[in-house]
Amino acid sequence: MNTAVINIKTNTKVKAQAKKIASELGFSLSALINGYLNQLIRTKTVHFSTTEEKPSEFMVQALRESEEDRKAGRYKSFDPADEALEYLDSIINEGKKN
């Protein structure tokens, strides 16, 4: 694969934060930028958000309830994912019997 070097100017803090987040996600900053460039070519669109996303009150309440359920032990955990599918199948089959 032929490669080309792109030099850009950015704020030092922006670069450091982006590099840290990329690393936390398991990517190099270069890989993320390449992914973005490929998406730009593929979709011919640019997506930027200038505001932080804030969850709706409904979502906040659902998250609170979910956290309460987790703390109370009212949840199921599956590993591997096949166990989750088997569990859902059993619920569906029980519903068909009723």
Burial 86-95 (b: 16+ CB within 10 A, else e): eeeeeeeeee
Report pLDDT for 36: 94
The 10s digit of each residue's pLDDT in 47-60 is 887 788 888 999 99
Mean pLDDT, the chain, integer: 91
For the chain, the domains span 1-48, 57-97
What is the pTM assigned to this prediction? 0.49
Q: How big is the CA angle at 22 (ends 17 and 23), to the nearest 5 degrees?
A: 100
- Residue written as tokens 């994912």? 81
The 10s digit of each residue's pLDDT in 26-77 is 999 999 999 999 999 999 999 887 788 888 999 999 999 999 999 999 988 8
